[in-house]
Amino acid sequence: MRRVALNVLYLVPGAVGGSEIYAKELIGALGAARPDVEFVVFCGREAAPSLRAAGWPANVGVHELPVRCANKPLRILAEQTLLPIAARRAGCDLLHSLGTTAPLVAGLPSVVTILDLIYEAHPETFPAAARHGLRAVVGPAARRATRVITISEAVKRDVVRILRVPAERVDPVLLGRGMRAEPDVTPEPELRERLGLGTDRVVLCVSAALVHKNLPRLLEAFAALGEDTSGARLVLVGHAGRDLDELQGRAAALGIADRVVFTGWISAADLEGLYALAACCAYPSLYEGFGMPVLEAMARGVPLVCSDATSLPEVAGDAALLFDPHDTAALAAALRRVLEDPALADDLRVRGLARAAEFTWDACATGVLAVYERVLTG
């Protein structure tokens, strides 16, 4: 293994969520783990400046392809045509595509990381053209790849069942802790004043407003607590998605509009400040490939109330209060327990810190490098 091509054409900074963290953290860890290997990162025009400034080891280089990857059809076209040619010209021994899609004909040994199959599990999350495009590319490319990496056992089960990739060619490699702690933290008084939180306890949820994130049920569960029980504000952090108006209307209909704050995107310093002041975090998602916000909350010592769906029990282990995400009463009961039982909250805080410490990018890189060796040694 002399030279590895890393395909991150999907990466449009600030627009792809946790998969941007995955690429940046994993690539840095790969370079550090194998200084004898040259890693060539193939990206589009939007990502090239930030990737060149990522501070990766000297054996990691960035190769910009002439495509604007925010245009997804153009990105897929470049991935199918320009990328394989560029990787072969660079003398690469292996091509690893990190973002679910990959060339149908790579022309060299290939690995693809399948992050999730959300377009199959919740097709309503995607426009019809995007769904059809993904179905045309993801399954065939995965079946033709030398090996497939998934970011959880749950995604492996989906890849085997839905994409019909033989289980023996699929390797789950769990991720690291997600977003690194921001050294600059917005002070609590400033956040409380700006967001209108008063002195209330905060139930924090870091999630985009998308169908599979199950936020209407979180609003219903929060409403079921009643003001006298919770004495809390629900703060929803994340991009608006297509369902923000519906969520705001739902909060108003439930009579809790004055106790729910939708922040939209916020700075890293503000998010760190919210983690620091939160009484607990809630993560009610119906489907996750991994669930980075779960680890991010636990790594910051925030008691976690978490869905028991798909990959989330793999990540949370016994360090969160798990609930059935289809059961509003179960979610409300879990929130009530954490808010009303300080001993339970403290126990979850301690368990969460220990659990999060088990997930490192070095371990993720080790798992990925083991897959490369399997590919290249047959």
Average pLDDT, integer, range 218-242? 84
pLDDT in tens, 313-328: 999 999 999 999 999 9
Question: Strands 232-237, 260-264: parallel, antiparallel or unpaired by DSSP?
Answer: parallel
- Torsion region of 284: left, alpha or beta (phi above 0 gives left; psi -120 to 50 gives alpha): alpha
At residue 356, does pLDDT exceed 90?
yes
pLDDT, one tens digit per residue, over 96-153 is: 999 999 999 999 999 999 999 999 998 988 888 889 889 999 999 999 999 999 999 9
Q: What count of residues does the chain have?
A: 378
pLDDT, residue 228, reads 59
Give Cβ neighbours of residue 183 (< 8 Å, ≥ 6 apart): none
Over residues 217-244, the mean pLDDT reads 84
- Is-contact 48 27, C-beta < 8 A? no
Two tokens, residue 183? 């050294």
Predicted pLDDT of residue 230: 60
Largest Cα span, the chain:
67
CA dihedral 345, 347, 353, 356 (to 10 degrees): -90
What value does the mean pLDDT of the chain take?
94
For residue 263, give the H/E element and its range. Answer: strand 260-264
Mean pLDDT of 30-57: 97
Work out the burial of residue 89: count CB atoms within 10 Å of its CB; fewer than 13 is exposed, 13-18 middle, 19 or more buried.
exposed
pLDDT digits (tens, 9 = 90+) for 272-305: 999 999 999 999 999 999 999 999 999 999 999 9
Which DSSP helix (H) or strand (E) runs through 285? none
CB 305 within 8 A of CB 278: no
pLDDT level of residue 199 (50, 70, 90 thresholds): very high
- Between vectors from CA 296 to CA 194 and to CA 127, what angle results, nearest 5°? 85
Beta carbons of 204 and 278 less than 8 angstroms apart: yes
Does the structure show a pLDDT above 90 at 12?
yes
- Using pLDDT thresholds of 50, 70 and 90, give the confidence band for residue 155: very high
Give CA 101 to chain center in angstroms. Answer: 16
Cα separation, 179 vs 189, in Å, equals 24
Looking at residue 184, its pLDDT comes to 87
Contacts of residue 105, defined as CB under 8 A and 6 or more positions apart, other chains included, come to 80, 84, 144
Between 189 and 179, residue with greater pLDDT: 189
- Local confidence band at 178 (pLDDT 50, 70, 90 cut-offs): confident
Amino acid 229: pLDDT: 58
Q: What is the mean pLDDT of residues 173-183?
A: 81
Band of the pLDDT at 343, cuts 50, 70, 90? very high
Task: Give the span between the Cα atoms of 59 and 39, in whole angstroms.
Answer: 6
Ranges assigned E (strand) in 2-160: 3-7, 38-43, 60-64, 94-97, 110-114, 147-150
Per-state percent for the chain, helix, strand, coil, to nearest 5: 50, 15, 35
Is residue 241 pLDDT above 70, yes or no? no
Q: How confident is the model at residue 240 (pLDDT cuts 50, 70, 90)?
A: low
Query: Looking at the whole model, is its pTM more than 0.85?
Result: yes
Residue 70 has pLDDT above 90, yes or no: yes
